[in-house]
Structure 1
Amino acid sequence: MSRPTTCSVVVPTYNRSRLLSYTLEALTAQDLPADRFEVLVVDDGSTDDTAAVLDAYRGRLDIKGLHQPDEGYRVAAARNLGIAHARNDVCVLLDSGVLPHSGCLRAHLDSHRADQQPRAVIGYVYGFNLDNEDAEVITSMVDPHDADAAIATLAADGRWPDMRDDFYRRYDDDLSTLPAPWTVFWTCNVSARTAQLRAVGAFDEAFRSWGGEDVDLGIRLQLAGARFEVNRAATALHYPHDKAFADHMATLVPNYCYIADKYDTPTIRLLPAIPTVNPFNLNEVAAFLDLPRCADVLAARS
């Protein structure tokens, strides 16, 4: 298997043209040569000026706009459309409003070139707030048109590290031996080999509400042998936008129940207990209970 040298950046969007423009602007500043990455923006039926934003970046990026009709929440299907059209070795999955550092794409590729084992790479994300509670302060501190400077500002301030940082440090950023590394595989800034994403079926399009579709994909990547790791050089800023975590929780728990029923292994059965079982402690709970590896449970059934 050849070492990956190119990537396809898949960005789903829905009526977030301003946030999308920040993401695209940051992608124009990547230190990876322009002929080694493409950008696939998948519009989930927007009615704002998303098309005009895309047009503004043609010629500045190797960019392709894909569109699906607005039939409700279909981010899984949107990402799959991007993955299906990807031409390159690795897919980097970003959200609209996530601003990658100039070295972000190169760092993702560096992880995938480390050896022949496929990887599920988790990039580092500054500024993520569950309820957007610090939005006003963060937006007053950073310039969304200069991702590197914005990230440097937040890193120096120290108040908004990646909210998973304590979890990462517990394992020295190497999540490969954990029973459930997929608990933190959040597709705001992650990557995997394009061929492996397709081989595992990409995203499950049964997810039609917020939450869990990325964890579900992470489970299948682990079952297919992907090594999970954090790459802090694959850094990005999550620029604040309107959201309500309480509303998200209302759909997240049913989606986790769906995942638990889908795989029905003892470790994955812990998912619906979130938030009672903290996602950052789920691996310790699985170890304490001496639960069998998911791959072993599923292999025994086959």
Structure 2
Amino acid sequence: MNQPFFSIIIPTYNRPERLASCLQAIALLDYPRDRFEVIVVDDGSKTPLDSIVAPLQNKINIKLLRQENAGPAAARNKGAEVATGEFLAFTDDDCQPTPDWLTQFATGFNNNRGAMIGGKTINALDKNPFSAASQKLIDYLYEYYNPAKGKDAFFASNNIAMPAANFKALNGFDVSFPLAAAEDRDFCDRWNLSYPMLYVSQAQVNHYHKLSLTTFWKQHFGYGRGAFCFHQLRSKRVAKDIEVEPLSFYFNLLSYPFSQASRQPKLLISGLFFISQVANVAGFFWERFNFNSTRTV
């Protein structure tokens, strides 16, 4: 089998230790070294990252790009601009792919060469209830947004791969989002209009995203802000009013942790799900209020 050439793109910002661990995991991939390149895009970090990247240069084909801080969407697009691979694979600096990550993507593309493939993200901080709840919420969304249930698929940007030509045909990620939230949802929504999406659970990354109650709230408040921007763009794209999920979505969401294995108390995870949705709604209406205020000025 002719193994496809991948360009792995990693946006990073002020997390040199996490980036180092991510790159060390990539250096251990069981994929031919001449069949992938790594493009690290420094999104304006305070500390230069040359010392993090340099030790890997004799092990893998790696490039370091820099830009003024503009967010991960812009960083991913910048990496894609210089990528030479037939396929792009995206992950984040706080993720560590398993050794067969690219191999699993390659197998998926054998089945559907034009698809976006989403892999499985595993919370690597299972003793942290906030990190556990955040990943369980993504797991629920993966099950909910499922073509088998009549829904368009959704994949988070920390574990996806796709043909570079299709990515460029869609002009990449939309950089108009005010923060790192929902730009991947928007990209998947646009992708669904033109190309297939395929879930390959064997393509896995371990996610080391440490959260506290404060950062958990801020993250989901930000998701709410991003959700408003997403719905604004989507309503224009499909010429429909903003739609929200039915009540059954939220009922099933709160009951979901009780059907899942977890090292954390299931009632605690459900409670954190509730807090996440309160934060999400607060962020949504905060963004909506500011949007309407700017329009009336």
TM-score (norm 2): 0.73
Name the residue aligned to 2:173.
203
Question: Unaligned 5+ residue runs, structure 2?
Answer: 254-297
> SS where residue 151 of structure 2 aligns?
coil
Which amino acid in the other structure matches residue 87 of structure 1?
Answer: T
Unaligned 5+ runs, structure 1:
139-158, 282-302
| CA distance in structure 2 between the partners assigned to 1:48 and 1:259 by the alignment | 32
Structure 1 pair 219/60, CA: closer, same or farther in 2 (3 Å)? same
Say whether 1:8 aligns with 2:7.
yes
> How many angstroms apart in 1 are the aligned matches of 2:101 and 2:241?
31
Using the TM superposition, give the Cα deviation of residue 30 of structure 1 relative to its aligned residue in structure 2, in angstroms: 0.8
CA apart distance, 1:180: 2.4
1:125 paired to 2:97: no
1:190 paired to 2:124: no
The 8 Å contact of residues 130 and 211 in structure 2, kept in 1 or not, is answered as: no
Amino acid at match of 1:26: A
Identify if the C-alpha distance between structure 1 residues 238 and 280 changes in structure 2 by more than 3 Å, giving closer, same or farther.
farther
Kindly report which structure 2 residues correspond to 1:214-293, keeping only aligned pairs within 5 A, or say none: 214-225=184-195, 227-242=196-211, 244-264=215-235, 265=238, 269-270=242-243, 277-278=249-250
Letter in 2 for 1:111: G
Could you tell me how far apart the structure 2 residues matched to 1:189 and 1:49 are? 25
**Coordinate RMSD, CA, aligned:** 3.3
Q: Cα distance, 1:44 vs. partner?
A: 0.3
Q: 1:74 aligns with which of 71, 86, 105?
A: 71
Question: 1:203 and 1:4 mapped to 2: Cα distance?
Answer: 27
Report the Cα distance in structure 2 between the residues aligned to 1:14 and 1:25, rounded to whole angstroms: 17
Letter in 2 for 1:125: T
- Please report how far the alpha carbon of residue 202 of structure 1 lies from its aligned counterpart in structure 2 after TM superposition: 0.3
Determine the C-alpha separation between the residues in 2 that align with 1:268 and 1:228: 25
Residue 36 of structure 1 and its aligned partner are, at CA, apart by 0.6
What is the alpha-carbon distance in structure 1 between the residues aligned to residue 126 and residue 240 of structure 2? 25
> Size of the alignment, in residue pairs?
248
TM-score, normalised relative to structure 1: 0.72
Cα distance in structure 1, aligned partners of 2:160 and 2:207 = 13
**In structure 2, C-alpha distance between the alignment counterparts of 1:229 and 1:51, rounded to whole Å:** 36
By how many angstroms is 1:231 displaced?
0.9
The match for 2:272 is none
Per chain length, whose mean CA-contact separation is higher, i.e. which structure has more relative contact order (CA < 8 Å, sep 6+)?
A: 1
Residue 52 to residue 242, structure 1, CA distance change in 2 (3 Å): farther
Partner of 2:282: none
Task: Indicate how the Cα distance of structure 1 residues 258 and 232 shifts in structure 2: closer, same or farther if over 3 A, else same.
Answer: same
Q: 1:76 to 1:165 in 2, by over 3 A?
A: closer
Question: 1:182-216 CA distances to partner (integer Å, 9 max, x unpaired)?
Answer: 2xx10111111111000011000102313100001
Q: CA deviation at 1:161?
A: 7.9
Deviations 1:5-46 (A, max 9, x none): 111100000011100011101111111100111000000011
